[in-house]
């Protein structure tokens, strides 16, 4: 199927993307689709944007992250391995990685999204990273895709203290504040983005004081992030390894 967006109009953008990714695409149309936000081809088939690639990239990321933590932490149980994988491939983490790589300026947005000031940028960064993982896999194969994920996410962050595992951050925080006979309360204080790219912001409150806030692509993820941030502020991050 022919692209709705002409490759010729985005030669410079594609060249910059290849430089960032460290990989030259044989089929430039695959890279173009991976960078195309649905708003740029609104009303047309999902074939023309990054949506289908995002689906495949998400599955590839989970597989690579799962294998990596399985091999690295031989004595870690299933629950802790799951938390480690979730931390590595969370929307919060992937959008941060994509931002640091410089992908924000390369995403092709439509006029409708541009008129909103690209308020869905954080979700778009996460989605584009996943789409690019799929694009590299489809154009360059499994090994090239594997190395890209290892270099940009797994090896770079698996030992980072920001990814210290807390079996259940909300429960850990609950135990800490119970010493003072208090209970943490979570409130969703903000919700942005279109229906398919929602971003939620949660706050955790104890005795009327906001301890921390957190953002995520679901209410649950936002609350967990708020709890993690509160634990860090508390200065008693749980260690599980």
Residue 58 is a catalytic residue:
yes
Catalytic residue among 54, 58, 201, 223: 58
Answer whether 138's CB lies under 8 Å from 144's CB. Answer: no
- Told to judge if 6 belongs to the known catalytic residues of this protein, a careful annotator would answer no
* Residue bearing tokens 């060249």: 15
Marked catalytic residue, from 92, 113, 126, 130 = 130
DSSP secondary structure string for all residues of 20-66? HHT---SSHHHHHHHTB-GGGGTTS-GGGSSHHHHHHHHHHHHHHHH
Cβ neighbors of 12 (< 8 A, separation 6 or more) are: none
Element (H, E) at 138: helix 121-140
Give the catalytic positions in this structure.
Answer: 58, 130
């Amino acid at each position: 199927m022919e692209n709705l967006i002409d490759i010729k109009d985005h030669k410079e953008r594609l060249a910059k993307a290849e430089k960032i990714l460290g990989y030259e695409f044989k089929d430039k149309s695959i890279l173009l689709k991976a960078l195309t936000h649905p708003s740029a081809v609104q009303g047309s088939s999902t074939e023309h944007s990054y949506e289908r690639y995002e689906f495949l990239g998400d599955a590839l990321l989970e597989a690579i992250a799962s294998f990596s933590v399985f091999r690295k932490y031989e004595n870690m149980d299933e629950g802790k391995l799951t938390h480690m994988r979730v931390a590595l491939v969370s929307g919060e983490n992937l959008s941060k990685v994509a931002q640091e790589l410089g992908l924000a300026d390369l995403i092709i947005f439509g006029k409708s999204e541009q008129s909103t000031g690209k308020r869905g940028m954080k979700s778009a960064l996460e989605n584009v990273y996943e789409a690019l993982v799929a694009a590299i896999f489809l154009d360059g194969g499994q090994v090239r895709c594997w190395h890209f994920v290892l270099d940009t996410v797994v090896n770079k962050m698996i030992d980072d203290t920001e990814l210290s595992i807390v079996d259940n951050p909300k429960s850990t925080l609950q135990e800490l504040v119970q010493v003072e006979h208090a209970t943490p309360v979570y409130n969703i204080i903000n919700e942005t983005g279109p229906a398919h790219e929602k971003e939620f912001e949660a706050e955790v409150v104890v005795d009327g004081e906001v301890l921390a806030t957190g953002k995520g692509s679901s209410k649950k993820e936002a609350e967990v992030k708020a709890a993690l941030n509160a634990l860090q502020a508390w200065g008693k991050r749980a260690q599980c390894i």
